[in-house]
Amino acid sequence: MAQVLHHIEGHVATVVLDNEAKYNAMSLSMWLQLAQLLEQLRQDESVRVLLLRGRGEKAFVSGADISEFEQQRNSQQSVAAYDRAVDTAQTALAEFPRPVIAAISGICFGGGLGLALSCDLRYCNSTARFRMPAARLGLGYAWRSTRALVAALGPMNAAEAFYTARIYEAEQARQLGIVQSVHADVIEHARETAHLIAGNAPLTLRAAKLAFISLREGPQADSAAVEAAVAACFASEDYAEGRRAFAEKRAPHFTGR
């Protein structure tokens, strides 16, 4: 059964894209489930970091479930509805107010690459393969996803990836900036990184994430909101705790207040 699962450990929410029989291809219902879950986790103040992965080791996400296209993308209206579902989920991921980590094993194609590029930090293992196959399928690619591809790879590398639909192996992906690093056990590395981040000051993390989102928006960025978030950090109990912990040479205990 294609589904989106999650569990919370400490302050880390792990979201699992589960359609293993189809290499975690995203069905329409999974796009809708993902958007709903992200809204739920957005409201959960205990969640400080989000970790996104696919079920099993063979794939992160192999793309959209093409077997649905005959029914789900067979008219102008249905294409528009499907694209809205994809954009809503990817936007919710890109604008999630806390840090988001992608742990990528195996295939990461098409919509899977779009999901990965919506995350703040991206790690993969040596089996990871990346591809933007739209040109081999006759599909148009949404503006937001194209922007994310250009932001990660740069205009020329993004153009090559899109025009050629070539497959990039893990080390090539690292060199291009699709991922930051390659790990033998990427799930464990991502989990350790998530818990490391979750131990830092939540208000500082949120202010930084808001700044990163605003920088992506360019001239329409809400700098006032970023400045307010930064001011909230300096007025917080956590700021006082950070200073005390530094003076006392101990690890700080942050509460998000």
Q: Would you kindly state where each structural domain of the chain is located, as residue ranges?
A: 3-197, 201-247
Q: What is the fold of 3-197?
A: 2-enoyl-CoA Hydratase; Chain A, domain 1 (3.90.226)
| Helix pair angle (237-247, 202-217), 10° resolution | 120
pLDDT for residue 221:
64
**Side by side, which strands form the sheet with 167-169?**
59-61, 107-109, 129-131, 167-169
| Helix pair angle (237-247, 223-234), 10° resolution | 50
| Helix pair angle (143-153, 155-164), 10° resolution | 120
Query: Strand pairing of 12-18 and 49-54?
Result: parallel
Q: What is the dihedral of CA 78, 84, 87, 91, to 10 degrees?
A: -160
What is the Cα–Cα distance from 49 to 134, expressed in whole angstroms?
A: 31
Q: What is the dihedral of CA 153, 155, 159, 162, to 10 degrees?
A: 40
pTM here is 0.93
Task: Give pLDDT tens digits along the chain (257 positions).
Answer: 899 999 999 999 999 999 999 999 999 999 999 999 999 999 999 999 999 999 999 999 999 888 786 666 566 787 788 889 999 999 999 999 999 999 999 999 999 999 999 999 999 999 999 999 888 888 777 777 788 889 889 999 999 999 999 999 999 999 999 999 999 999 999 999 999 999 999 999 999 999 998 887 766 667 788 888 899 899 999 888 889 989 999 999 999 89
Chain-centre distance of CA 158, in angstroms? 18
